[in-house]
Each structure stands twice: as C-alpha cells, then as structure tokens.
C-alpha cells in the first residue's frame, strides 16, 4: 500500500489487533464479575486484606493493587504490595 492511501476496511486494526468495539469491554466486565473473592487473612474494615495492615506509604510505593471502598461513612484506600506479601489501609472520614 502506498503512502497516503486509505487503510483497507477489515476486521483488523492498523496495529495488527482485532477490532473488538465494546465487546472486549463487556467480556472484561463479565470476567471481573465472575471472579472468586480473594482469600482475606485480615478482614480489616471493608478491604479484606491478604495480610494485616502495615504502613500505607510503604505499601503504596511498592504497590501491586490499590482499590477503594466505603466502610460506613469512611472512605478507605486499600493496598497490596510485594506480590501480595504486604498490605495496608488508609481510611478518611
């Protein structure tokens, strides 16, 4: 294909991947919705941590996963780090 010609209308994108539209997003949402809950050793507030909490600043600096949840009127930031060998939580009113 010469420079300046339009890209052919195919089911594949220019980067070589298949165009999925919204289907890929729906599949990802279905996968997340059907996952088993993580095994929580320390169910601390709403976080269900893999380990009882330590320093949040350390955890955040070495994070693998960070998520948030509400525990009553408090918003909690949950953290897992070092391949889930370290956990932390920080809640604010």
Query: Mean of the per-residue pLDDT values for the chain?
Result: 74
CB 45 within 8 A of CB 68: no
Q: How confident is the model at residue 4 (pLDDT cuts 50, 70, 90)?
A: low
- Find residue 68's DSSP bridge partners: 77
CB 89 within 8 A of CB 78: yes
Q: Which two tokens stand for residue 16?
A: 């070589």
**pLDDT tens digits, one per residue of 20-60:** 555 554 544 444 444 445 566 788 889 999 899 999 999 99
Indicate whether 67 pLDDT > 80: yes
Q: What are the residue ranges spanned by the domains of the chain?
A: 52-93
**pLDDT reported for residue 66:** 96
Distance between alpha carbon 2 and the CA centroid of its chain, in Å?
Answer: 42
Indicate whether 19 pLDDT > 70: no
With a pLDDT cut of 70, the percent of the chain lying above it is 57
């Amino acid at each position: 294909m010469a420079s300046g010609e339009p890209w052919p209308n195919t089911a594949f994108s220019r980067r070589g991947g298949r165009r999925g539209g919204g289907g890929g997003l729906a599949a990802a949402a279905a996968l997340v919705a059907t996952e088993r809950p993580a095994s929580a050793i320390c169910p601390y507030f709403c976080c269900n941590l893999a380990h009882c909490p330590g320093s949040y600043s350390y955890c955040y600096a070495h994070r693998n996963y960070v998520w948030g949840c509400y525990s009553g009127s408090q918003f909690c930031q949950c953290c897992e780090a070092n391949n889930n060998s370290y956990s932390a939580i920080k809640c604010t009113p």
